[in-house]
């Protein structure tokens, strides 16, 4: 079929920390077809040169921006487009990248399998060099299988597949929203050297004023060198060089080091390269990093060796027209600006793995975040669920661990162990250990809210709507230093930083919107007036700030989402409240905390 010519959506490079000069954005109009019976392989869909329908990638078929807006369940679907490999890429590796595809993915080039991937939230890539020829065109076909009924989410699913807040009923309800199927982040090609970089972990060392580089290569070769050049805007701040062998690290001590913080989010530009014995560059990548340290002492969190009080907002990353996918790069930045305008210094990124462009803007703007999985729908008491979760979560950590704005990892949210306590215990313990093995530089919150097995940060969730009752509930008692959601099932509290990771959720619908909210939802009884809303919000924040054992809190939530009407902003990001009053309330930290 003939493909329409349109402007490429989301044209910016999707990985600012690993960017090559030679790359091709594959977003735009693809052909596609539904495969509700999952019979496409039997019908040779992988050999297709074009399907009967069109979709605007990278937007999911449930979204308006995709041009499809299909509301019902989609078990399986197929995509196709032509890719053209530049003649100039001869002799180089051709790497095909997917920012995110939900959930199982099979990729074919001219009918031949290029690779398979499981996991709807993590990015992945395939080396398709052997399947393509420079100067030629090829048919790229993608099969996406995503049975949302495999997620639990209150609809009797099997619980073997993580889905986040995707609704397992036809209509969104309560805290479950529109589903996402298939491609939902940018697809792109780039050209790497034969001995090119596959990845590079960059660890900041504030105390030593240096960066430590640990590269991984597509292929090793004798006599090759890895080099990192660190720039601070005015010139070269440091260089590092070592033999180009997998996991052989090198470091550079920085001249006049500048730390990254919310007040001064300074980022170093970095050039990574692989050279041969004569000094010829075989591969080069642009990156950046921030020099910052996050650690725990007693019941306090420290950023760059200074106490840090967290004023976070719950951000679920949904968009009216794009669902999981922001309509533009500007929209990602704008969400952070809105949160900062409201008085928050960061976000708990909730039940979704955000795209790397979001983390880029958080790095640029000095916005603190907690990285979290989309664990809901995945039953932690099932062995297959654990298998699916661990493989996906480890890929997420490796992709995002270089971002200075991410200060903690949260593998799970509100887990329950009743069905199989031993499997639940093992999964949470394994996830904690995997986090520490892959990234020992950040604290880990094993399960936000409950149930804790091993954790660096102790989190509780509480939507008590009365400020007085909230204060009473969270105040230490004899024999109980902190409030715990499920003390019967979880490990003992041992003095970790205590964070109320969900509170508030105050329902408020503007009068003009009330006739259209047929199944609106929020926590507790809604205030009757705006003045009552402000008083309740202020009372809650004052209550939390008055408790000396608390190191931070997270308010639910940044925006309304579909029927859930408890955001600081409306779903379209317009204002619901007097933002001067909101900021005055939410920008407050405890006076005696010695806040950073």
pLDDT in tens, 474-503: 999 888 899 999 888 899 999 999 999 999
256, 395: one domain: no
Residue 586 host element (H or E):
helix 579-586
- For residue 244, is it within any domain? yes
**pLDDT at position 150:** 66
Q: pLDDT band at residue 333, thresholds of 50, 70 and 90?
A: very high
329, 478: one domain: yes
Cα dihedral value 253, 258, 261, 265, nearest 10: -110
- The answer on pLDDT for 507 being more than 60 is yes
**pLDDT at position 379:** 86
175, 324: one domain: no
438, 541: one domain: yes
High-pLDDT (> 90) share of the chain, %:
85
For residues 129 and 77, what is the distance between their CA atoms, to the nearest angstrom? 26
> What are the tokens at 83?
């890719």
Q: What is the mean pLDDT of residues 346-352?
A: 97
**pLDDT at position 234:** 84
35, 140: one domain: yes
- For residue 136, is it within any domain? yes
- For residue 594, is it within any domain? no
**pLDDT at position 478:** 81
Nearest-CA neighbor of 323 among 581, 35, 70, 25? 70
pLDDT (tens digit, 9 = 90+) per residue, 209-248? 999 999 999 999 999 999 999 999 889 999 999 999 998 9
pLDDT (tens digit, 9 = 90+) per residue, 552-588? 999 999 999 999 999 999 999 999 999 999 999 999 9
Q: What is the pLDDT of the chain when averaged over all its residues?
A: 94
- Total tally of structural domains belonging to the chain: 3
pLDDT (tens digit, 9 = 90+) per residue, 30-65? 999 999 999 999 999 999 999 999 999 999 999 999
Choosing from 170, 192, 214, the residue where a domain stops is: 192
206, 95: one domain: no
**pLDDT at position 516:** 60
491, 549: one domain: yes
Q: pLDDT band at residue 418, thresholds of 50, 70 and 90?
A: confident
Spatial CB neighbours of 501, under 8 Å, sequence gap ≥ 6: 312, 348, 445, 448, 449, 459, 460, 461, 553, 554
**For residues 366 and 264, is the Cβ–Cβ distance under 8 A?**
yes
Model's pTM, two decimal places? Answer: 0.96
Q: What is the mean pLDDT of residues 78-100?
A: 98
- For residue 6, is it within any domain? no
Crossing angle between the packed helical segments 356-365 and 383-400, to the nearest 10 degrees: 50
325, 392: one domain: yes
The backbone torsions φ and ψ at residue 356, rounded to the nearest 5 degrees and listed phi first, read -65, -30
Q: Which residue has the higher pLDDT, 475 or 2?
A: 475
- For residue 507, is it within any domain? yes
**For residues 308 and 595, is the Cβ–Cβ distance under 8 A?**
yes
DSSP string, 559-573: B-BTTB---SB-TTS
- For residue 258, is it within any domain? yes
- The answer on pLDDT for 155 being more than 60 is no
- For residue 449, is it within any domain? yes
Other residues' Cβ atoms within 10 Å of the Cβ of residue 459? 28
For residues 284 and 21, what is the distance between their CA atoms, to the nearest angstrom? 8
**pLDDT at position 34:** 98
Question: What is the span of the domain harbouring residue 41?
Answer: 23-192
**pLDDT at position 4:** 45
Residue 261 belongs to domain with CATH number: 2.60.40.10
**pLDDT at position 1:** 35
89, 232: one domain: no
pLDDT (tens digit, 9 = 90+) per residue, 286-303? 999 999 999 999 999 999
133, 218: one domain: no
Q: pLDDT band at residue 468, thresholds of 50, 70 and 90?
A: very high
- The answer on pLDDT for 444 being more than 90 is yes
pLDDT (tens digit, 9 = 90+) per residue, 13-25? 999 999 999 999 9
Other residues' Cβ atoms within 10 Å of the Cβ of residue 171? 12
- The answer on pLDDT for 524 being more than 90 is no
Residue 154 belongs to domain with CATH number: 2.60.120.260
- The answer on pLDDT for 130 being more than 70 is yes
Residue 473 belongs to domain with CATH number: 3.20.20.80
Choosing from 171, 192, 213, the residue where a domain stops is: 192
For residues 287 and 13, what is the distance between their CA atoms, to the nearest angstrom? 12
Nearest-CA neighbor of 88 among 24, 157, 26, 31? 24
162, 232: one domain: no
Spatial CB neighbours of 271, under 8 Å, sequence gap ≥ 6: 228, 229, 231, 284, 285, 286, 287
**pLDDT at position 11:** 98
pLDDT (tens digit, 9 = 90+) per residue, 158-168? 788 889 999 98
Vertex 448 angle, CA 445 and 451, to 5°: 95
Q: What is the mean pLDDT of residues 330-342?
A: 98
**pLDDT at position 596:** 41
Choosing from 132, 157, 192, the residue where a domain stops is: 192
568, 433: one domain: yes
**For residues 61 and 74, is the Cβ–Cβ distance under 8 A?**
yes
- The answer on pLDDT for 2 being more than 60 is no
């Amino acid at each position: 079929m003939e493909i329409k010519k349109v402007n490429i959506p989301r044209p910016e490079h999707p990985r600012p920390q690993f960017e090559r000069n030679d790359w091709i954005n594959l977003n735009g109009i693809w052909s596609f077809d539904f495969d509700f019976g999952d019979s496409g392989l039997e019908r040779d869909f992988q050999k297709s040169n074009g399907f009967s329908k069109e979709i605007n990638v990278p937007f999911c078929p449930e979204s308006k921006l995709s041009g499809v807006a299909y509301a019902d369940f989609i078990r399986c679907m197929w995509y196709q487009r032509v890719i053209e490999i530049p003649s100039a890429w001869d002799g180089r590796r051709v790497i095909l990248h997917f920012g995110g595809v939900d959930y199982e993915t099979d990729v074919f080039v001219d009918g031949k399998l290029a690779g398979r991937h499981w996991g709807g939230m993590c990015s992945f890539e395939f080396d398709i060099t052997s399947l393509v020829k420079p100067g030629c065109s090829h048919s790229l076909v993608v099969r996406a299988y995503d049975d949302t009924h495999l997620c639990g989410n209150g609809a009797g699913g099997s619980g073997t597949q993580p889905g986040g807040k995707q609704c397992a009923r036809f209509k969104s309800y309560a805290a479950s929203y529109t589903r996402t199927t298939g491609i939902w982040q940018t697809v792109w090609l780039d050209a790497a050297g034969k001995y090119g970089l596959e990845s590079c972990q960059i660890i900041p060392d504030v105390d030593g004023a240096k960066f430590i580089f640990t590269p991984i290569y597509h292929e090793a070769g004798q006599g090759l060198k890895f080099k990192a050049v660190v720039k601070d805007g005015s010139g070269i701040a440091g260089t590092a060089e070592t033999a180009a062998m997998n996991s052989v690290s090198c470091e550079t001590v920085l001249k006049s080091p500048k730390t990254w913080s919310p007040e001064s989010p300074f980022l170093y530009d970095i050039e990574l390269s692989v050279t041969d014995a004569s000094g010829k560059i075989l591969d080069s990548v642009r990156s950046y990093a921030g020099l910052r340290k996050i650690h725990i002492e007693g019941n306090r969190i420290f950023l760059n060796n200074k106490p840090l009080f967290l004023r976070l907002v719950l951000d679920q990353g949904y968009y009216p027209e794009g669902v999981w996918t922001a309509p533009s790069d500007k929209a990602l930045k704008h969400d952070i600006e809105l949160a900062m305008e409201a008085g928050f210094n960061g976000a708990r990124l909730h039940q979704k793995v955000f795209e790397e462009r979001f983390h880029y803007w958080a790095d640029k703007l000095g916005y603190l975040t907690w990285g979290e999985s989309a664990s809901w729908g995945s039953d932690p008491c099932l062995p297959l669920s654990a298998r699916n979760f661990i493989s996906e979560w480890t890929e997420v950590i490796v992709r995002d661990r270089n971002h200075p704005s991410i200060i903690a990892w949260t593998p799970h949210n509100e887990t329950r162990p009743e069905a199989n306590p031993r499997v639940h215990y093992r999964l949470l313990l394994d996830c904690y250990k995997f986090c520490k093995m892959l990234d020992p530089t950040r604290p880990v919150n094993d399960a936000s809210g409950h149930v804790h097995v091993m954790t660096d940060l102790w989190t509780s969730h509480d939507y008590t709507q009365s400020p007085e009752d909230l204060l009473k509930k969270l105040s230490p008692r004899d024999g109980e230093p902190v409030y715990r959601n499920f003390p019967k099932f979880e490990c003992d509290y041992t003095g970790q930083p205590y964070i109320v990771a969900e509170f508030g959720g105050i329902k408020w619908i503007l009068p003009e919107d009330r006739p259209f909210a047929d199944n609106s939802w929020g926590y507790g009884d809604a205030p009757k007036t705006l003045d009552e809303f402000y008083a309740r919000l202020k009372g809650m924040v004052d209550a939390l700030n008055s408790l000396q054992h608390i190191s931070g809190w997270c308010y639910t939530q940044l925006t309304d989402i579909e029927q859930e009407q408890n955001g600081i902003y409306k779903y379209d990001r317009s204002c619901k409240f007097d933002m001067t009053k909101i900021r005055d309330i939410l920008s407050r930290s405890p006076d005696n905390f010695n806040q950073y």
